[in-house]
Structures are given as C-alpha cells and as structure tokens.
Amino acid sequence: MELSKTVNQSNTIITEKKYSPLKEFWKNWKRQKTALWASFFILLLIIIAVVGPYIAPYDPYKPDYNSMLQGPGSKHFAGTDEYGRDIFSRLLVGSRISLSVSFLSVFLGAIVGTILGLISGYFGGWLDRFIMRSSDVMFAFPDLLLAIAIVAILGPGLNNVVIAVSIFSVPSFARLVRGATLEAKETVFVEAAKSMGASHFRIMFQHILPETLGSLIVFISMRIGTAILAASSLSFLGLGASPETPDWGAMLSLGRDYLGTSSHVVMMPGIAIFLTVLAFNVVGDGLRDVLDPKTKNE
Amino acid sequence: MLQYIIKRILEMIPILFIVSILIFFFTHLIPGDPARLVAGKDATLEEVTIIRAELGLDKPIWEQYGSYMNHLFHGNLGTSLKTGLPVMDLFVDRFMPSIYLTLFSMVWALVIGLLIGTLSAVFKNKWPDYFGMVTAVSGISLPGFWLGLILIQIFSVQLGWFPTGGAEGWKSYVLPSITLGAGIMSMLARFTRSSLLETLKADFIRTGRAKGLKESVVIPKHALRNSLIPVVTIAGLQFGFLLGGSVVVETVFSFPGMGRLLIDSIAFRDYPVIQAELLLFSLEFILVNLLVDILYSFLNPKIRYVA
C-alpha cells in the first residue's frame, strides 16, 4: 500500500492512505453478508474442483456390485449409485467438470461477445448494424434451444456443450458491451485519447474496455449460473457428458429411474447443482450492488 | 400505432428468412446420411441411391433449399424420416399441448411472481420481503429437471394426486407447469419488486398519499400499473426461456409435446422434423416479442412509436 505524507495544522506529520479501488471494493463487499458467504462457498468449490480427484475416498468410475444403491451412511457419505459407485466421490470429481464447462463456456462467450460489442459500439455504421442484426437472428432462438441445435449438429459431448453454451452467450455479451461502449466513447478521456492520436485498438482496449468491466464482471458471474444449468440440462437430455462421466447432470439423468426406491441418487447431484448455481446468483447480485450501482436492486 | 406494427412485421421477414437459411444449412450439417437412415442398415447402395433421389438429396443444396421454401409456403413442412408421416401431422397432436403448457406456466408465474414481488416491495426489509426474495433466488437456481423429478416423487408417486406423465386432462398439466414456470416466477418477482420500489418513490405516489388515498388504492391502481411496464417486457423476453425449458420439462414428464419430439428427432437425426421445429420455435419467439412490444406501447402512453 502506497502511503503519502501530509502535514496538518499543528505541523505533525500524519500518514494518509491513498485511494485503492480494490480496498474500496473489499470494504463494500464485506457489507454484502450473504454474497460474502456465497463467495466463500464458490472458493471452496474451486478448491474442491482442483483437489477433488486426489481427496475422493473412492474411485468415481469403479463399479462395486456388492454395494449398489446404498443410502447415505458412514461408509458412503452420500450413498452409492446403481453400479455401486460412491456418489460423494463422483460429486467431488464432477465439480471439476461442472465448473470448468461453465467457466470455459462463459469466458469464451464473454471474450467473443466483448470484442464484437466493442467493435459494434465504437465504429458504428454498417459494422454496428451487421453485428446487431446478426445478434437479432441469434436472439430469435431461445438460449437452450440454440444450444440443443448446436449439439445436435456437432454431436453429443462435453467439448461441444462448451461450444454450444459459449455461442448462445455471445449475443448477450455483445449487446451489453456495445451499450457501455456507446456511453464511454462520448466521454472526455476518449476524446482526449483520440486527439492525442491514439490508435482505435488502444482506445477500445485501454480506455473503453476498463469502463465496461464493472457490468461485465457482474454479467459473467450471473451467466456462470445459467451455464451450469444449461450444461447440466444438456447432459440430462443425453446430449452432454457420456453416462459414465461423473457429471452432475448425467448423474441425475442416470439416477432418475431409481427415484422411487433410492432418492439419494437424484437428490445429491441435484443439491450440488442447486447450491452451486445459487451461490453464483447470490454473488452476481452482490457484485451488481457493489460494482454496477446504476442497476442496483434495493 | 398501426404504422409501427406494420414496420415491426416487415422487420420480421428478413430475420425469419435468415433464420430459415441458417436452420436449413445447419440441419444439413448434422452428421449421418438421412437416405441411409431411411433405407435401413441392410440396404444396398442402389437402394440408398434411389431413396436419396426420392428425398431430393442428390440435388445441389441451393436447389434443395428452394424446394424446401416452396413447400413451406404451401404449408408442407416435409416428411419425417422416422415415421414416414408428414411433419405437419406429427405437429397437429403435439402443438396445442405444448402451447397450453407454456401458457399455463406463464400465467401462474405472472400471477404469483407479481404477488410475491408486490408483497416484497410493500413490506420491504420485513419478513414477507425476505421470504419472497429467498424464494425468488432459489427458484432461479433450481434445475428444472430436478424440481420436476422431486414433484413427481412427492405428488404423483407418494400422494397420487397427479399423473406422472402424459397430457390427458388438466391434472397432467399441473406438475409440468409448476416446473416450467418456477424460474420465470422468480425472475418476475424480483423485477416486480425492484420496479415497484422505484415507482413508490415517484412524485405522483406522494401526491396520491397526500390526498389521503388509502394504500389499497395507491399500490394496485397507481404504483403497480406503472411498475408493470418493465415486468411485461421481461415476461415476454422470458417466453423463449419457456420454449427452451419445455424441451427439458416434457422429457422429465414424458409429455407428448413439441419439446420431446425435438429430442426424439435429434436422437434419430430426423432432420425434416428438427428443422421444422426449430423454425416454428423461432417464429413463436419472434411473434411473442412483437406482441410484447405492442403491449408495451399500450401500457405506457408516453411511448409514441414513429414508424
């Protein structure tokens, strides 16, 4: 932390902290109690996603026909599935799949959408009309249907789920960034940069992009929840992860036949998806209140 | 107003045209030879060639698109590769149940969403507000297919109140509608709350209260009516969410609707059905957005659209 010295009236030297956006953010973030807890939960999930395969008590792929469909107990914390596989171990390993699929798809969508939005808002004219009309065409397909159509073309599989979910995220990000760019390009500092001969690339990425970051971060956090739901829905429909993969959606899809007799097979992955999406939505709400005061929800 | 509606309808045409091209070419990118699928695994090369010619698949793709559009304008959506029946015949039985399901879901989501949102705003920072908003955030985060399975387990298997699937009688619509509408209801509750809180700060509300109007008049007649504008927009935009969600919900409830037909068609690579369905879904979505825009202008007299 940089410190500057000022002299007060009685000539004693006092130290004064310089403004730090990060510190300001943390001060406001601490006030968002629920969002703070949700962010700790997400942090824990990320740690689990990283170390999950190493700390899992059982092999998540290995069937054990002597312990099929056992309820939660001391030996199997979350019970076992129809092949006798430990559900807790599958959930731990599955967290890596769910988080990486959703993070990757949202970030890919955000990168492409942001670049298109910046270009569209900054240059205007026919380029703007072309990008916005193309996004209108994409908006003509409901999100999940678009993802289903893309997976139908590319074939089932997690890689294609990432592509499908990122494609349906692109127009939303493009719209959001275009709006923010239109506002930012009218500001004095962009005018100043232009008059100093800064290149279009520099103005877009060094001056305008930081202005859109607040709304972008909020939107990314909210889209991650949507992406987890979309990816697990595709897996549930048999269009995502293959059935033996410990993906939360695929686990739910396999377990539904046993709902009547062994409900834990469906309950456990369902709770995992629900809590994860809930945490991202709560964090998204909190971030919006802190970073994007214009859309602040009282 | 009429000028605006005509302008919007005219704007729809190029979008629908591009959508139709995209759907046609994308469905042709689906791996697998449709002629081979129809002919069966044991068919000879000659048989497959004959079927390919019958289906018109041996012609250049632009010609195929031209013939597809020509048929489309004559109400012919093609023939299902799986059943050999005209696609229109497959849609006849499934279209209305899906529309009813979507409408029921939207209606209950609107009513309950508005109610929860209003109560949350009126009792801001009190227990109805906390309860309403916890319900709303939870509703948005619930995976629809999971909620559906839990509802089946409780209300169909254990209590026996509703059927586990199908679309016979009003009872078979209850659980799928609850499942499909839960997310929208939550979203609408949140938007109603924030929109109503914003309106309650307005000068005309203060004037109304200063005149001695009762809260039972101020809230529904003055505040809620003005807060409805953004809520209607959101409700319309979420219609697409319902169309997408219906695919999942119909699969969970074995509901004989359009969504389930789409999944079955994808599994069989029945591309005439897939492309007709996607086109119909986007047409529905675009039409609903148009209706929302028109409703928007009715609700807000300040808005004067200039064609």
Q: Backbone phi, then psi, for A78, in 5-degree steps?
A: -115, 15
Same domain, B24 and B147: no
Distances (CA, A) of B12 to A275, B27, B253: 40, 22, 34
The total number of structural domains in chain B stands at 2
- Here the tokens at position A279 are 């945490």
Contact A97, A241 (CB under 8 A): yes
Q: What 3-state DSSP class applies to A287? A: helix
pLDDT tops 90 at residue A112: yes
Q: What 3-state DSSP class applies to B304? A: coil
| Cα–Cα dist A267/A253, whole Å | 11
Rg (CA), chain B: 24
pLDDT digits (tens, 9 = 90+) for B47-61: 888 888 887 788 888
The amino acid sitting at B196 is L
For the residues B221-228, what does the mean pLDDT come to?
Answer: 79
Q: How confident is the model at residue B24 (pLDDT cuts 50, 70, 90)?
A: confident
How many residues make up chain B in this entry?
307
Q: How confident is the model at residue B306 (pLDDT cuts 50, 70, 90)?
A: very low
pLDDT tops 80 at residue B299: no
Determine contact: A59 vs chain B, CB below 8 A: no
Residues 138-197 of A with CB under 8 A from B: 140-145, 148-149, 152-153, 155
In this prediction, residue B272 carries a pLDDT of: 85
Q: What 3-state DSSP class applies to B71? A: helix
For the residues B251-279, what does the mean pLDDT come to?
Answer: 86
Give the domain CATH number at A128: 1.10.3720.10
Look at residue A71 and tell me if it is in a domain: no
In this prediction, residue A297 carries a pLDDT of: 45
In this prediction, residue A9 carries a pLDDT of: 54
More confident residue, B229 or A229: A229
More confident residue, A143 or A203: A203
Q: How confident is the model at residue B305 (pLDDT cuts 50, 70, 90)?
A: very low
Same domain, B8 and B114: no
Q: Specify which of A282-296, B12-26, B52-66, B111-125 reaches the highest per-range mean pLDDT.
A: B111-125
Q: How confident is the model at residue A48 (pLDDT cuts 50, 70, 90)?
A: very high
Contact A88, A57 (CB under 8 A): yes
Q: Write out chain B residues lying below 8 Å of A141, CB-based.
A: 19, 240, 278, 281-282, 285
- Here the tokens at position A14 are 């006092």
* Out of B124, B143, B262, closest to residue A229 by CB: B143
Listed in sequence order, the residues at least 6 apart from A264 whose beta carbon sits closer than 8 Å to its beta carbon are A71, A72, A78, A79, A87
* Alpha-carbon gap: A133 to the closest alpha carbon of chain B (Å): 8
Look at residue B299 and tell me if it is in a domain: no
ipTM over 0.85: no
Look at residue B260 and tell me if it is in a domain: yes
The total number of structural domains in chain A stands at 1
Same domain, B129 and B250: yes
pLDDT digits (tens, 9 = 90+) for B171-211: 899 999 999 999 889 989 988 888 888 888 888 888 888 88
A278, B138: Cβ pair inside 8 Å? yes
Q: How confident is the model at residue A274 (pLDDT cuts 50, 70, 90)?
A: very high
A148, B262: Cβ pair inside 8 Å? yes
pLDDT digits (tens, 9 = 90+) for A3-30: 445 555 555 555 566 777 788 888 888 8
Same domain, B138 and B67: no
* Alpha-carbon gap: B307 to the closest alpha carbon of chain A (Å): 18
Same domain, B69 and B125: no
Q: Specify which of A22-31, A140-149, A221-230, B225-234 reaches the highest per-range mean pLDDT.
A: A221-230
Same domain, B178 and B261: yes
Contact A170, A116 (CB under 8 A): yes
More confident residue, B198 or A283: A283
Handedness of CA B205, B209, B212, B213 (dihedral sign): positive
- Its domain, for residue B129, covers 94-268
Of A270, A236, A276, A221, nearest in space to B143 by CA: A270
What pairs with residue A39 in β-bridges?
Answer: none
pLDDT digits (tens, 9 = 90+) for A29-43: 888 888 889 999 999
For the residues A247-270, what does the mean pLDDT come to?
Answer: 87
Same domain, B158 and B259: yes
* Out of A238, A270, A282, closest to residue B137 by CB: A282
Look at residue A105 and tell me if it is in a domain: yes
* Out of A137, A143, A273, closest to residue B22 by CB: A137
To probe the interface with B, which of A37, A129, A148, A271 has the most B CB atoms within 10 Å? A148
For the residues A170-189, what does the mean pLDDT come to?
Answer: 87
Look at residue A14 and tell me if it is in a domain: no
Same domain, B228 and B261: yes
Listed in sequence order, the residues at least 6 apart from A276 whose beta carbon sits closer than 8 Å to its beta carbon are A42, A45, A95, A98, A99, A225, A228
- Its domain, for residue A198, covers 79-297
Look at residue B80 and tell me if it is in a domain: no
For the residues A59-88, what does the mean pLDDT come to?
Answer: 85
pLDDT tops 60 at residue B304: no
pLDDT digits (tens, 9 = 90+) for B94-133: 888 998 999 999 999 999 999 999 999 888 888 988 898 8
Determine contact: B105 vs chain A, CB below 8 A: no
For the residues A47-55, what does the mean pLDDT come to?
Answer: 90
Look at residue B18 and tell me if it is in a domain: yes
**Which residue shows structure tokens 């009236």?**
A9
Look at residue B83 and tell me if it is in a domain: no
Look at residue B86 and tell me if it is in a domain: no
| Cα–Cα dist B39/B52, whole Å | 9
- Here the tokens at position A10 are 């009685």
* Alpha-carbon gap: B8 to the closest alpha carbon of chain A (Å): 13
Q: Backbone phi, then psi, for A157, in 5-degree steps?
A: 140, 150
Contact A228, A276 (CB under 8 A): yes
Look at residue B179 and tell me if it is in a domain: yes
Look at residue A96 and tell me if it is in a domain: yes
Same domain, B109 and B68: no
| Cα–Cα dist A42/A51, whole Å | 14
| Cα-to-chain-centroid distance, residue B222 | 31
Same domain, B254 and B149: yes
Give the domain CATH number at B121: 1.10.3720.10
How many residues make up chain A in this entry?
298
| Cα–Cα dist B307/B305, whole Å | 6
For the residues A192-201, what does the mean pLDDT come to?
Answer: 87
Same domain, B21 and B151: no
| Cα-to-chain-centroid distance, residue A211 | 20
What pairs with residue A7 in β-bridges?
Answer: A13
Min mean pLDDT across A135-139, A205-209, B72-76 is at A135-139
| Cα–Cα dist B269/A191, whole Å | 55
Determine contact: B159 vs chain A, CB below 8 A: no
A136, B15: Cβ pair inside 8 Å? yes
